[in-house]
Amino acid sequence: MNRTMMNFTRWILVSVLCALLGACGGGGGSGGTSLFGSGDTSGSGTSGGTPTTTAGTIALSLSSSTVTASAPVTVTAVAKTSTGAAAVGVVVTFSVTNAHGALSAASALTDASGSASVTLSPASGQTSGADTVVASATVGGSTVSASAGFSLTATSVGISTFSADVGTSANNKLSAYGQAVLTLSMTGVSASNPVTVSFTSPCIVANKASVTSSSVTSNSNTILLTYQDNGCGATTATDVVSASVTGSSLNASVTLYPTTPTANSVAFLSASPSTIYLQGSGLTLSSTVKFQVNDSSSNALPNQVVTLALSTLTGGLLLDGGSAAVTKTTDANGQVSAIVTSGTVPTPVRVTATLASGVSSTSSNLAVAVGLPTQLAFSLSQATLNIEGGNVDGTGNTYTVYAADRSGNPVPAGTAVTFWAEGGQITGSQLTTLNGSGIASATASFVSQEPRPADGRVTILAYAIGEESFRDLNGNNTWDSGEPFQDLGDVVKDMRFDGVYDASNDEYVSLAGTASAGSLSCSDFSSSYPILAVGADTPSRAGTCDQTWTRRTYVRRAAETVLSTSTARALWADASGLHGYCNTVSLKTSASDSGTAFTYVESYALNTATQKERGAWYASGTSGTLRLIVADANSVRLNPMAAGTTVSVTSNTDGLTATVTGGSPVASTLTATSTLISYSFTTATSGFLTVNFTSPSGLQTSYTLKVYNSSTTPSCSAG
């Protein structure tokens, strides 16, 4: 028989059995409905009905059935579900039937074991008789409860006196940080009738005092404990210590008079921030200076009078926006503070805090700084002067601005510096940061890419809002009419890096937003003060100056970077030792010159068309040194190869040896370098040398040189 048929058969049997059981139900109940038709429904009994849910339970117990003022009891209720498991998180409500007992709480929450507890005490120490405590809770949707009876025994406990051995009057004060013995005298206490007494006071709560124990259980009529002053007198003239008998309304108190601790020292805590800046700088102008008064135990003392005074009034420094001195009272932490506001002169400044006793302390590390970068202290440097970027994209370089104010102090962190590049790509703006030594700088990243200037050199410009540099001739740290200064106009993006604004090539940036070209010439004090001269590294647009010292201008620095190609160009440094057909080429050493002639060495010593020698070197003996200029292949400028380019030499002739003795690898430089090649004849009288130039990217350029060992006077014929 298959599984389906078996299941169907079982269903038929179960249905028949159920029908039979229904028909035979006791108590004259309804016969139910037959599987095969209607049964007898004339019975007067009830059907099976709806199943009921069994409720949970709650049990109640007392740690003792007798409750006294000296011995409260613990009332514990345990709640369980209908399955007997702990009923967790159930709220149990407690109550006393006749109000003879007092509960520590009206309700409690069951824990992981289903238990909830409260403390039961007499409503009064003189109460006697019996009462009932009731616990109820809702478990499994039903309310369950339990109760337990208890008896109350009246006690004859009483308090006679509560006293201290010292510090109980204004004429009998407790010494600062001293101790007093407290005595609580009681009646009716015995081994069979112990009491629990708690002790507290405002100073104890504030941790300004302490007692041997905050709660004492005793079977003796006398309780002794020690009160320890922890600077209570610094905040209050009196401290009221109270004693309360647990489970009763009995209480007593004693008043102590603690002595105010003596101020022993005043300590400088902080000056925040530690650097503020001159009025008009647009930067932070004030600092909060904080002191703390301590007693002989080095604890902070409140309510102490402190006089704060500035050490200097240079430039109009102010304390709390007013005079040079102020009087303050220490707060709850024993601290006072005052605000120092800058003036017009950069200076270190100190604040002196003095107590009434004459004890004083002086602040440190607070200075008034200029804050704004000044032109002379705005410096731009680059990691590498000549990178392999003339034909390679993505070659990196970094440019770092170091900025200081006119006192040589670092400008604030977060000073914005803008960067611009004639070619390639550079980080547009960076904020200054302070290194571990507190030096301010901002660094921008650069990569080579298009556009690339024809002369293989890019101008990099950095500028920020700052002030023109000046010479302070009278020492007042402010510019006065007639004092020399560095008059700056609009910032020029000087693409030729020649210090001259050329409208056909260059761009400019005006802080004013609108340029006034030609309105005023720039004041020039460089003849008497060369340091104030402007040039290619401080590009300024003539005709946009104001002929007066300016605090808010663009300070700027420009630098030039060579984008060297990967191909080398070898040039003879000295043509006087050459023979044959010598080709010359004119290359510029700077943007403004007309070009300087150098004798160019062909890649092979012979002109293959005419079989004429080209640039052969005639030695005056069997050994010597060749000097070649290692130039970039750029046809406009005499640029160096990229930093890191290496030079090597091999001899192609037996009896002729050579080695590179200098100039490899190529240094970080803006000018073409030279390499030295030492050679020596052994058996040969002439031969060929191959010089190899390998760029940082691995590209190699080779030149073959012809060398003679001869006394023939060398000369170059016309091309």
Q: Give the tokens for residue 123.
A: 């409503």
Q: Give the tokens for residue 198.
A: 């708690």
The CA–CA distances, whole Å, from 210 to 116, 213, 441, 517 equal 33, 8, 55, 80
Per-chain mean pLDDT for the chain: 86
* Residue 606 pLDDT > 80: no
E strands, 257-330, are 263-272, 275-277, 286-295, 305-310, 318-319, 325-329
- Tell which residue, 188, 243, 185, 187, has the closest CA to residue 211: 243
Higher pLDDT, 23 or 442: 442
* Residue 619 pLDDT > 90: no
Residue 115 and residue 76 in contact, taking contact as beta carbons nearer than 8 Å: yes
Residue 350 and residue 340 in contact, taking contact as beta carbons nearer than 8 Å: no
The residues that bridge with 430 in the sheet, in sequence order, are 417
pLDDT at 662: 95
Burial class (CB in 10 A: 0-12, 13-18, 19+), 526: middle
* Residue 468 pLDDT > 90: yes
Which of the residue ranges 22-31, 152-161, 240-249 has the most confident prediction, judged by mean pLDDT?
240-249
DSSP string, 496-530: T-SS---TTT-EEE-TTSS--TTSBPPP--TTT-G
Output the CA angle 378-380-384, nearest 5 degrees. Answer: 170
Higher pLDDT, 253 or 39: 253
Output the CA angle 601-695-615, nearest 5 degrees. Answer: 5
Alpha helices in 100-247, H assignment, sequence order? 202-205
* Residue 348 pLDDT > 60: yes
* Percent of the chain predicted with pLDDT > 70: 87
pLDDT at 19: 45
d(CA 634, CA 569): 8
Q: Give the tokens for residue 100.
A: 């003879």
For residues 563-577, average pLDDT: 88
551-567 per-position pLDDT tens digit: 889 999 999 999 999 99
pLDDT at 616: 82
d(CA 537, CA 555): 11
3-state SS of 568-628 is EEEEECCHHHEEEECEEEEEECCCCCCCEEEEECCCCCEECCCCEECCEEEECCCEEEEEE
Burial class (CB in 10 A: 0-12, 13-18, 19+), 107: middle
DSSP string, 387-424: ES-SS-TT-EEEEEEEEB-TTSPBPPTT-EEEEEESSS
Higher pLDDT, 196 or 51: 196
Residue 535 and residue 559 in contact, taking contact as beta carbons nearer than 8 Å: no
* Residue 167 pLDDT > 50: yes
* Residue 517 pLDDT > 60: no
pLDDT at 107: 95
Amino acid identity at 292: Q
Q: Give the tokens for residue 207.
A: 């941790």
* Residue 593 pLDDT > 60: yes
Q: Give the tokens for residue 264.
A: 């022993």
190-239 per-position pLDDT tens digit: 887 788 899 999 999 999 999 999 999 998 999 999 999 998 998 899 99
For residues 293-302, average pLDDT: 89
E strands, 10-140, are 33-34, 37-38, 57-62, 66-67, 73-80, 91-96, 101-103, 107-109, 115-122, 129-139
* Residue 20 pLDDT > 90: no
For residues 495-501, average pLDDT: 91
Secondary-structure breakdown of the chain: helix, strand, coil percentages, each rounded to the nearest 5: 5, 45, 50
Q: Give pTM, 2 decimals.
A: 0.64
Number of other residues whose CB lies within 10 A of the CB of residue 46: 10
> What domains does the chain contain, in order, with CATH numbers?
57-152 (2.60.40.10), 158-256 (2.60.40.10), 263-369 (2.60.40.10), 375-562 (2.60.40.10), 568-717 (2.60.40)
Number of other residues whose CB lies within 10 A of the CB of residue 683: 8
At a CB cut-off of 8 Å and minimum separation 6, what does 311 contact? Answer: 349, 350, 351, 352, 362
Amino acid identity at 395: T
- Tell which residue, 554, 595, 174, has the closest CA to residue 401: 554
- Tell which residue, 312, 323, 308, 318, has the closest CA to residue 279: 318
Residue with tokens 């190869």: 641
Between strands 335-341 and 275-277, the pairing is unpaired
Per mean pLDDT, which range of 28-42, 192-206, 451-465, 517-531 is the poorest?
Answer: 28-42
pLDDT at 613: 72
